[in-house]
Structure 1
Amino acid sequence: MGVSTSAPDKGDKGIAVVTVDFPPVNALPVQGWYDLAAAVRAAGADPEVRCVVLTAEGRGFNAGVDIKEIQRTAGHDALLGANRGCYEAFAAVYDCEVPVVAAVHGFCLGGGIGLVGNADAIVASEDATFGLPELDRGALGAATHLARLVPQQLMRALYYTSRTVTAEELHRHGSVWRVVPRERLLDAALELAREIAAKDGQLIRLAKAAINGIDPVDVHRSYRFEQGFTFEANLSGVADRVRDTFGKNDTVDTGKEQQS
């Protein structure tokens, strides 16, 4: 359980696989976000690595923050920790010195959108769904990253309704590279990573820095702005009211699928 870094089973040179495993649904505690950030940054800083594959074990890729940790922690320490931890993890993916390929299966919700929205490429399984149920969780945030996956009006509709979209729908929008059967997911992600890792290591790092430099949106500042409203919702009491309703249900609500 936790975050681990490994080399592909086939021993592909230049590829690091960062795997997240927080049963039962990969809802990460505060420390988990920091551990993920540290693993991605370390992999990108390794001069032998030219591409990072971000993947997960279990039922789904990511269910966001561990809301129960926030609920059982007095004061605002857990909330602040989750905010800062998510910021660090999302930034680590975006700022990673080499390209990051996200391999997504099952549900990708909340903080999961922050991760994949900052990734350089996404490979998804046929059962993957993506969404921001933040308004149903007493939170706000990651619209910055959802806006990198779908057009503006669709992003707003998904955000306001907490609906999800399928991997195939995102593939049609061009934000998912490939959609494959679940048993082929890691192989497909490694195929793309292998092609990227075949490039010159120094040049691929320059390419990543150059592409980040021409990004039209400052993702760090944009997401930090959103986080301010999350804290305002908590101070006003509305976040607790909504979270308490969610807390009565121990299962992961993957939302309603967007009808295309």
Structure 2
Amino acid sequence: MGVSTSSPEKGTVLVTVDFPPVNALPVRGWFELADAVRAAGRDPAVGCVVLAAEGRGFNAGVDIKEIQTAGPGALIGANQGCAAAFAAVYECEVPVVAAVQGFCLGGGIGLVGNADAIVASEDATFGLPELDRGALGAATHLARLVPQHLMRALFYTARTATAAELRAHGSVWRVVPRDGLRAAALELAAEIAAKDGRLIRLAKAALNGIDPVDVRRSYRFEQGFTFEANLSGVADEVRGTFGKGSRQSSQRRESRRSGESGKGGADE
């Protein structure tokens, strides 16, 4: 459990996140991830990094239970850790390919939005449930995945988009069956790593240099509003209902299904 690093192919490093049950990372997890990605990028023998995860989903964001129980220090740590991990992916000296399966939520959007390429499984979904969790942030990164108005609608509603939808917008390189995800991501990474390592590093720096938005500054600006929400007490109120809304929604859906199954005639 935690963050591990391996070298499945020459020139490629695989950084794997594993924090059961849903890969909601604690404060230390974000910093461990940042350190692993930066270390991989500094290795002159590495030409590409693949960021992957074990389990049902790629990333469920921060560990809200840790924030609820550990107090303000945990919130500050989570914000700093997320900023560090997102920046590590973006500033990694070589390209980073994200291999995304299942859910990619909250902080997961920050990671893949800052990656250089995304390979996703057919069951992958992407979204920011921040407003339902008493937080803000990572709209900076969602805006790198979808057009502006769709980003806003997804953010305001806390809805998700599928891997197929993101591929249609050009932000996902490939959508593959889940059992072929890791191989597809490593295949792309190997193609990148086969290039001259010196030129790849120059290319990464050049492409970052022409980005229209300073993602680090933009994300830190968003985080300021998260602190405002916490200081005002709004965030605690919303986080206090965490989990209750989803259970109530499930109960309402079940009630509707039960009611519909009891209908007859033309409604069937």
2-structure distance, mates of 1:194, 1:58: 24
Work out whether 1:82 is the aligned partner of 2:78: yes
Q: Which residue of 2 aligns with 1:257?
A: none
Higher relative contact order (CA 8 A, sep 6+): 1
Aligned to 1:3: 3
The aligned residue for residue 39 of structure 1 is 36
Number of aligned positions between the proteins: 248
Pick from 197, 201, 206: which aligns with 1:201? Answer: 197
Indicate the residue corresponding to 2:252 in structure 1: none
Local SS of the residue matching 2:24: coil
In the superposition, the TM-score normalised over structure 2's length comes to: 0.91
Aligned to 2:55: 58
Give the CA deviation at 1:250: 9.3
Query: Computing the radius of gyration over CA atoms, which structure comes out larger, 1 or 2?
Result: 2
Question: Partner residue of 1:258?
Answer: none
Q: Structure 2: any 5+ residue segments left out of the alignment?
A: 250-268
- The CA deviation string for residues 91-145 of structure 1, in whole angstroms up to 9 with x for no partner, is 0000000000000000000000000000000000000000000000000000000
TM-score (norm 1): 0.94
Of 178, 188, 195, the match for 1:192: 188
Alpha-carbon distance between aligned partners in 1 of 2:149 and 2:243, rounded to the nearest angstrom: 30
Deviation at 1:248, TM superposition (A): 4.4
Whichever residue aligns with residue 2 of structure 2, its letter is G
* RMSD across aligned positions (CA): 1.2
Counting only pairs closer than 5 Å after superposition, residues 68-79 of structure 1 correspond to structure 2 as 68-74=65-71, 76-79=72-75
Equivalent of 1:118 in 114, 117, 120: 114
Given that 1:64 and 1:109 are in contact with CA atoms closer than 8 Å, whether structure 2 keeps it comes out as yes
Q: Is the 8 A contact 1:68 1:247 kept in 2?
A: no
- Specify which of 154, 163, 168 is matched with residue 167 of structure 1: 163
State the secondary structure of the residue aligned to 2:35: helix
Of the three residues 138, 147, 156, the one matched with 2:134 is 138
1:234 to 230, 235, 256: 230
Between structures 1 and 2, the one with greater helix share: 2
CA distance in 2, matches of 1:250, 1:140: 19
Q: Which runs of 4+ in 1 moved over 6 A?
A: none
